[in-house]
Structure 1
């Protein structure tokens, strides 16, 4: 095999390895949930990939209401050169408002957790951006070299990304009945230096909230 071809294929492998995944991988788990081993890849009601576990005994109809706890950052949010504190605050506030409204469409919200209720806990675990998936015309050695160079120099178009971890707990037992790890894409940004703000991430939040509203009742 000729060396240029070997080099091209090697570069292609590196670039493909850096492509964005549709779901969070194990290195992106935050520790917010107690047990990730039960999570399985599945499709959300809108057809997007997610990681989810639902207790085989869980029936939403068994509960009279949901005690909703405000969305938090886990670990505690720290502003960066790309994501300001103002953006972090606006993202959390928007998600909290939209999610609470969506949950209330499924079950009445209660002011206190108790028998016959669920407790909902949600955390934003990362606000980030990552290189876009390779397009079919880039998956050739020469184009792969170009794409790799762009990625290394920070000029490749990126997806804004929001990571979310959530669980529903049986208020009486304290045990989880639903656990979800969701990775959602917002709008694209031109390169790795472009700041990320709430406008880029609203579509990611809206998509996740729609899935809450249409989550199959049991």
Structure 2
């Protein structure tokens, strides 16, 4: 088994990003969703996007015949704002689930629950934020899910959109963590600091994360 390829498979969580930029998450922005961040190191996803990840060097991917994708969640629990509504947050997780199921279903049998020879994917959205373009980016503090609009005299300026994910990959039988990844992407800018965030602003990012995971798996399968 080629560990660099396996690492690429297990590092996705998800986004070529459909024109959306992706960049590494600073350790100060880790959410606490993952059990251990100390082993994360800078790496690249299957499509070359920067991620932070760790992969168990002893993992044997060939033992897994199917994958169970747990419903994605926000971590920590989000508080809706004037810019990011509860409905928008719900639509983001629902679409992320759909994207992961769609892409992985092209290459793997999707299990309805944990079982023998099953790899578990446990994804979370850990941050959604907006900031005024051209100014110092808003730093997502550890790690409340927020929508932050920088108030300036130029309040009509476009608002950049950032979204982050953390994911763990586990053995369904033992619950042993096999890999962990942290990743961030940049969505479609909003018109101004009062424009409502919708799913459309981050959909290309979610699609890219899911596609990246599938491409990584297919690369590994071709080399086995």
TM-score, normalising length: structure 1: 0.75
Structure-2 change in CA distance of 1:151 and 1:79 (3 Å): closer
Asked if structure 1 preserves the Cα contact closer than 8 Å seen for 2:23 and 2:183, the reply is no
Unaligned runs of 5+ in 2: 1-20, 136-149
CA contact (8 A) 2:22 2:49 kept: no
Determine which structure has the larger helix proportion and give its number: 1
RCO higher in structure (CA 8 A, sep ≥6):
2
| C-alpha deviation, 1:97, in angstroms | 0.6
Aligned partners of 1:167 and 1:176 also within 8 Å: yes
Give the 5 Å matches for 1:132-211: 132=133, 152-153=152-153, 154=155, 156-211=157-212
Partner of 2:78: 77
RMSD: 2.4
1:123 corresponds in structure 2 to 124
Tell me how far 1:191 sits from its aligned partner.
Answer: 3.8
Q: Is the 8 A contact 2:133 2:159 kept in 1?
A: yes
Q: Is the 8 A contact 1:118 1:170 kept in 2?
A: yes
What is the CA-CA distance between 1:103 and the residue it aligns to? 2.3
Q: Do the aligned residues in 2 keep the contact of 1:165 with 1:181 (CA within 8 Å)?
A: yes
Q: Distance in 1 between matches of 2:44 and 2:156?
A: 32
Counterpart of 2:105 in 1: which secondary structure? helix
Deviations 1:46-70 (A, max 9, x none): 2211111111122322211112211
**Offset from partner CA, 1:173-206 (integer Å, 9 cap, x none):** 2111121111011112244443221111111111
| Aligned pair partner of 1:217 in 212, 217, 220 | 220
State the match for 1:47 in structure 2: 48
